[in-house]
């Protein structure tokens, strides 16, 4: 899979909703899920309906007050921020690996020159 071009369709989106709500999507899938969500009104509606069942019913049973629309917006924003942070950490880890490799190569070159 080409990570930069991972795109999901509506059918895949619907299959991933429960995993999204349960925080079980990997970073690439979650990024594609959110990108699709932002561009598809039908899937936003489906996510809202499923979120009502996923989060709303347990709150109704306990008598807890809630605003599901605001909670869902908050969850989406939170997950969007997690995707961004994980991408930054992945890029940092990759950069550190490259720096380490360059340092090892430079050490071998210096050893070869001065040995």
pLDDT tens digits for range 13-59: 999 999 999 999 999 999 999 999 999 999 999 999 999 888 877 77
Alpha carbon distance 97, 103 (integer Å):
10
C-alpha to C-alpha distance for 27 and 17, rounded to whole angstroms = 14
User: What does pTM read for this prediction?
Assistant: 0.69
In the numeric block, the tokens 């990570």 are attached to 3
SS (H, E, C) the chain: CCHHHCCCCHHHHHHHHHHHHCCCCCHHHHHHHHHHHHHCHHHHHHHHHHHHHHHHHHHHHHCCCCCHHHHHHHHHHHHHHHHHHHHHHHHHHHHHHHHHHHHHHHHHHHHHHHC
Residue 3: pLDDT band (50, 70, 90) is: very low
Q: What is the pLDDT of residues 64-87, one digit of tens each?
A: 777 888 899 999 999 999 999 999
Q: How confident is the model at residue 2 (pLDDT cuts 50, 70, 90)?
A: very low
Confidence at residue 58, expressed as pLDDT on a 0 to 100 scale:
76
């Amino acid at each position: 899979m080409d990570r930069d071009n991972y795109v999901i369709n509506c059918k895949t989106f619907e299959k991933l909703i429960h995993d999204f709500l349960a925080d079980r999507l990997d970073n690439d899938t979650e990024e594609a899920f959110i990108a699709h969500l932002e561009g598809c009104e039908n899937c936003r509606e489906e996510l809202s309906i499923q979120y009502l069942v996923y989060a709303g019913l347990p709150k109704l049973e306990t008598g807890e007050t809630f605003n599901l629309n605001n909670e869902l917006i908050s969850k989406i924003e939170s997950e969007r921020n997690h995707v961004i942070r994980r991408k930054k950490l992945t890029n940092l880890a990759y950069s550190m690996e490259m720096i380490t490799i360059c340092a090892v190569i430079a050490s071998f070159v210096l050893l070869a020159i001065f040995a």
